Amino acid sequence: MTERAFTVMRGGALTTVQDQGRPGHAHLGVPRSGALDPGTAALVNRLVGNPDGAAVLETTLDGCAVRPHRAVTVAVGGAPCPVTVDGRPAAWGAVVRVPAGAVLEVGRAVRGVRSYVAFAGGVAVEPVLGSRSSDLLSGLGPEPLAAGTVLPLGPGPGPAPAGCDGVPWPGVPERLVLRVRLGPRDGWFTERALRVFTTGAYRVSVASNRIGLRTEGPALERAVTAELPSEGMVRGAVQVPPDGRPVVFLADHPTTGGYPVVAVVREADLAAAAQAAPGSAVRFVRG
């Protein structure tokens, strides 16, 4: 096989195709989706000479393995992890040349959760509503990677700019601090609950996924117990389900919801939320 494509040898716990998402379709019930850590996705693309919005692979915890049909330039970044080519160590966070037929193995994350794999030319699956992203909630886009799947690559771009063999990578925080603005439904909670929310100790739940970061910790007491009609949701909304534990909506969140939103996380903090491993400490602070 000589076409620009790769075969999946190991899909990992959850590896999906992601780009910058499909904004502007919430009225159709379609969330933006896209890479949970879009800055990192853009960085690995720049390393291989792609535009920032080219489609990449987003792995979860234990990486993936692929075999390109033709030689291709790749870069792996995000959560630090071992990288090998046919069993030989290769660079993380830098440009790597993978020969035709060699196996690129992206290993288990040493810190953080999600690693990103860019290929020169980008992953060229068919766009849906203007994006190649997998959306786990709506089912749009390609399925999560599974062994034996063949995915196409786009035409190789020109060489990366000189001096771009490597870039500074942001560290993965050991403790997640999320700045929030209270509302729109903070009035549905007691004053004590709001104090607990912004001072209490929470941890990332193992039930977290691309839809939302779920927390374990003190429950938030409601002041209003009435049913709330469904209303629009945004990325970063902190919804409080009946168990009282806050849930931070991420890229694949539903576009409407019927539980009150106590606050919204600042957009700039959501990339760190994407790298918060189960059990990590979480604090919500006003700011």
User: Which residue, 140, 58, 70, is CA-closest to 106?
Assistant: 58
Band of residue 160 on the pLDDT scale cut at 50, 70, 90: low
Cβ distance 82 to 92 under 8 Å?
Answer: yes
The tens digit of pLDDT for each residue in 248-287 reads 999 999 999 999 999 999 999 999 999 999 999 999 999 8
Q: What is the pLDDT of residue 164?
A: 57
Residue 44 confidence (pLDDT) above 80: yes
Fold of 175-286: Cyclophilin (2.40.100)
Q: What is the pLDDT of residue 172?
A: 75
Higher per-residue confidence, 67 vs 163? 67
Q: How many CB atoms neighbour CB 195 within 10 A?
A: 10
Band of residue 159 on the pLDDT scale cut at 50, 70, 90: low
Positions of E strands within 53-132 = 56-58, 64-68, 72-78, 83-85, 88-90, 95-98, 104-106, 115-119
Mean pLDDT of 144-153: 98
For the chain, the structural domain boundaries read 5-152, 175-286
Cβ distance 253 to 137 under 8 Å?
Answer: yes
Q: What is the pLDDT of residue 156?
A: 77
User: Which residue, 257, 271, 254, 253, is CA-closest to 179?
Assistant: 271
Cβ distance 220 to 247 under 8 Å?
Answer: no
Using DSSP, state whether 225 is helix, strand or coil: coil
User: Which residue, 244, 251, 245, is CA-closest to 267?
Assistant: 251
Environment class of residue 39 by beta-carbon count within 10 Å: exposed (0-12), middle (13-18) or buried (19+)? middle
User: Which residue, 258, 247, 240, is CA-closest to 213?
Assistant: 247
- Percent of the chain with pLDDT strictly greater than 90: 89
**DSSP secondary structure letters along 6-59:** EEEEE--S--EEE-S--TT-GGGT------SSHHHHHHHHHHTT--TTS-EEE-
The tens digit of pLDDT for each residue in 77-88 reads 999 999 999 999
The tens digit of pLDDT for each residue in 109-146 reads 999 999 999 999 999 999 999 999 999 988 999 999 99
The tens digit of pLDDT for each residue in 215-252 reads 999 999 999 999 999 999 999 999 999 999 999 999 99
